[in-house]
Every structure is written in structure tokens, then in C-alpha cells.
Amino acid sequence: MHNRSRISNLLFILPALAMFCVFSVYPFVKTFQLSAFQWDGVSKSMQFVGLNNYKDVLFNNPNFWYSMGAAGYITLLALIIQNALALLLAVLVDRGVKAQNFFRTTFFLPPVLSFIVVALVWKWIYDPNYGILNFGLTGLGMIQFQGFGWLSEAKTALTGVAVVHMWKGFGWGFIILLAGLQGIPRELYESASIDGASVWQQFKRITVPLMIPTFVVVSILTILGSMQIFDLIYGMTRGGPAGLTHVPITRIYEYMNNGEFGYATTMAVVFGLVLLIVSLVQINVSRRASQKI
């Protein structure tokens, strides 16, 4: 009877298991397999190269690591500025400002827009010839911005893209942080207030410690989302000028588009490992911080 029960249980999970194997496990295994081959995506045969692709990606491809740095820069800005803004707005909405629903909807509007649409809209805003940003700045008397190419100047291109990424992404952080804030019992604030704690002390001693699990989730989502940025870059700069806005995914796409499937897959595996390590470090650091508090 026990066996029959087991079989019926297995039958229950079989559909989901089959889907998981076909759409997750198989591609995952195939990715590793492909990374050990040289393949143009067309030929019927592949050439086994062992770990040569890994050796080249790790030690002989500075452009890939530069792109990792560019993604790291965008991620750092997003972690600090985007999440600080998201937290500030979440706290304000949580404190009961008027028209909460309006703010919630407004702040969550950018994340629901398509990346390509956002890229095209912002490209137009930044446009040196037609863009409203330069039009507005020159209208305010800042004549030096007339015809200024925010996305074509080496000094501003990457930050220009990062700003759009933060604008597009802060709504996610806002919603998650707001949910976290609303999960904190109000009584804690009331008793702290009765005990004479200031708003800052309440924030520091109640909000921050209880929000650490939420901060961890938000920061991991920010890291993963920012490091994997692609559509915005592709829509706005295509990695230019001078490759300064290339990120790992655009480099991987570039290699795939040029028929280097094996090598591109190796880059993807290395990139995946980097993300895994960063996420583990992040979880570890947050756990330690939480224990200290």
C-alpha cells in the first residue's frame, strides 16, 4: 500500500518534474556541455576544446571583465541611490501621506513599462539634437548643454544609462520595502514613542533591524537585476560609445550574434558564477549585520 501511495505521489509531481527537467535542468546541463565546445550555431558538428574557452574568458578577455565592471558600476549606483530613494518613498507613504494609492501607482508605473519602450523614450529625452533635457537645460541658461550628447560622451554615457535603469527599477524596491514596513507592528512605534524615542531613534532601533530580511531581498534582486541589464543598453547605446556601456550580457549577445556559441556560453557560465558568488557574499554579510544588531 505504501508503495502505491508513493507511486501516486510521484504521479502527482511528474508533470511539474517533467516541465522542470525539460525547461530548466536540460538547458542548464546543455549550457555546461556547450561551454566546452567551439560551435558556430550552424554546423552539424562541434569541436571539443575542453577548458580552453574558460581559460580565455578568465585570463585573456579584458573586454568581458571591463563589461563586468560597467555592470558593477550600474549595480553599485542602483544599490545606493535607487534603493535609498525607494526606502525614502516607502517610509513617506507608510507614514500616511495623503493620496497613498496615487503614489503607489505612480511609483510602480516605470517597472511595468517595457524596457525597450523606456530605452526609446529616454533616448529621445537625452537626444542631443531633439531631446527635451538639453532643451530644458539651455532654456534655464545652461548654454553649455546645447547639443550635448549625454549618451555619446565618454564621461556621461554609462551614468546616463544607470540613471534610466534606476528610474525604471526603483518601483520594485519601493513596493517590497513598503510591504516590509507595513509588516512591522505599529505597537512597537507607539511604545517607543511613549518611552520618548525620537523618529530617528525609532527608525534606527525598530525599522532597520526588522527590515533587514527585506533589505536582503531587495538588494539581491537589485544586484541580479542590475548585473543582468541588457535591453536598456541595447536600446540606448548598443554598448557604445567606444564600448563603454557594454555589460556582460551585451558581450555575450555579441559573441552569439557572431556565431561563437560555445565561447558565449562559457561567458554566460562565468557570469552566472560571479552572480552566485556576489549573492552568497551579500547574504552572508547581511546575516552577520543582522546578528550584530
Partner 1 sequence: MSKLTRGNSKFAISGLVVFSILLAVTSAILTSCTSKEKQKSTDVIIWHWMTDREDVFNELAKRYEKQTGIVVKFETFAPSDAYRDKIRAATQGNLLPDVFSPLGDDRELAAYVKAGHIANLTKEMESGWKDRFFEKPLAYSSFFSGNQWDVEPGIYGVPIDVTSMQIYYNKGLFKEAGLDPENPPKTWPEFIEAGRKLRAAGIQPFVSGFGEGWLAGAFVSSYEWNLLGKQGVIDTIRGKLPYTDPRWVRLLGLLGEMREAGMFASGVATMVNKDAERLFATGRAAMAWNGSWGVNVYHSMNPKLNYGIMLPPRLPDAKYPLKIWGGGASSLNVNAESPNKDKAIAFLEWLTDDEQQAFLAQETRNIPANKRCCTALSPVLREFANNLDITQDRLPITEDWKVLSVKFTGMQSIVADYKTPEQVAKEIESEKKRVASAR
* DSSP-H helix ranges across 80-182: 83-94, 100-112, 115-126, 132-139, 157-182
Distance of CA 73 to the CA centre of its chain: 12
**CB of 178 or CB of 229, closer to partner 1:** 229
Contact between 249 and 267 (Cβ < 8 Å): no
**CB of 15 or CB of 96, closer to partner 1:** 15
Minimum CB separation of residue 246 from partner 1 in Å reads 9
Minimum CB separation of residue 33 from partner 1 in Å reads 15
Minimum CB separation of residue 236 from partner 1 in Å reads 8
**CB of 181 or CB of 252, closer to partner 1:** 252
Contacts of 171 (CB under 8 A, 6+ apart): 86, 107, 108, 109, 110, 111, 112
* Chain residues in the site for partner 1 (CB under 8 A): 1, 4-5, 7-9, 11-12, 14-15, 18, 40-44, 56, 60, 63, 127-129, 147-149, 151-154, 157, 236-244, 254, 257-259
Buried b (16+ CB within 10 A) or exposed e, 99-125: eeeebbeebeebbeeebeebbeebbeb
Minimum CB separation of residue 69 from partner 1 in Å reads 16
User: Residue 232: which of 123, 89, 104 has the closest Cα?
Assistant: 123
For 238, left (φ over 0), alpha (ψ -120 to 50), or beta? left
Minimum CB separation of residue 57 from partner 1 in Å reads 11
The torsion of the CA quartet 181, 187, 188, 194, rounded to 10 degrees, works out to 130
Minimum CB separation of residue 62 from partner 1 in Å reads 9
CA angle in degrees (0–180, nearest 5) for 75-61-232: 35
Minimum CB separation of residue 266 from partner 1 in Å reads 12
User: Residue 128: which of 162, 156, 163 has the closest Cα?
Assistant: 156
**CB of 27 or CB of 185, closer to partner 1:** 27
**CB of 4 or CB of 292, closer to partner 1:** 4
Contact between 56 and 263 (Cβ < 8 Å): yes
Grid cell at residue 184: 512591522
Contact between 235 and 32 (Cβ < 8 Å): no
**CB of 10 or CB of 281, closer to partner 1:** 10
**CB of 10 or CB of 283, closer to partner 1:** 10
